[in-house]
Structure 1
Amino acid sequence: MTGNLRKLSGSARFSAIAVHNGQVHLAGQVSQLKDGGIAAQSQDVFAKVDTLLAEAGTSRENLISVQIWLANMDDYAGMNAVWDEWVAPVTPPTRVCVEARMAQPHYLIEVLAIAAES
């Protein structure tokens, strides 16, 4: 990678944010909420995305692409209700949503986002 790669936050295992060539790449975000359903976890995760984008100096207005994994596609409508509210004020990014087995049984949703720098 070239010298214009910046990594912010994270751990020894991965960076929470990587900025390269004008793009902000977020690591997958999950909710640590063990109580509450898909709506609560979706709100929590989208708020984490907002926080990380702000830390990188950008916002959801600059989202390019979002990938969403659900533990159960039966939660698709519930997640979409929260998504629609969250993304309403901006031009929506490209998006994919699929079902996947999660790393922890209480994870109902995981979200990965890419945004342009402001």
Structure 2
Amino acid sequence: MSIQRFHTGPRMSQMVVHNDTVYLAGQVAEFGAGEMVAEVEAQTAQILRQIDALLAEAGTDKSKLLSATIYLADIATFGQMNKAWEAWVDTRNPPARATVEAKLAAPQYLVEIQVTAAK
């Protein structure tokens, strides 16, 4: 049984690969000092770029996504999030997906996305 952990901290790993399955932790937008990306569409696009980078590091890509869970601080922003998602997702290989409203870890986070992919 092979397990690899990437970008591991005291609380969690950003990515875990078990056999041929890649599990990503929930990804949120990254902010510099004093910076805040206020729009859901912009945060979603940034998160999707982070997901691309992590999947590439594991030797896979978005065409191999199995599932995605999207957490929105406000479900009323569903359309804004979907605008970025639809521009990014591989429409020939879309994953199973759920989108829910949830209170996120900090008020600047408007979107969090967790995905699982095959290698």
Tell me by how many angstroms 1:5 deviates: 0.8
Gapped regions of structure 1 (runs ≥ 5): none
The corresponding residue for 1:46 is 48
The corresponding residue for 1:66 is 68
Q: How high is the sequence identity, in percent, across the aligned residues?
A: 38
RMSD: 1.2
Tell me by how many angstroms 1:91 deviates: 1.0
Deviating above 4 A after TM superposition, structure 1's stretches of 4 or more consecutive aligned residues are: none
The corresponding residue for 2:84 is 82
The amino acid across from 2:15 in the alignment is I
Tell me by how many angstroms 1:32 deviates: 2.5
The amino acid across from 1:79 in the alignment is M
Give matches, 1:1-118, under 5 Å: 2=1, 4-33=2-31, 34-117=36-119
TM-score, with normalisation over the residues of structure 2?
0.91
Query: Deviation string for 1:27-60 (max 9, x for gaps)?
Result: 1100134133011100000111001101111110
Tell me by how many angstroms 1:75 deviates: 0.6
Gapped regions of structure 2 (runs ≥ 5): none
User: In 2, are the aligned partners of 1:63 and 1:114 still within 8 Å (CA)?
Assistant: yes
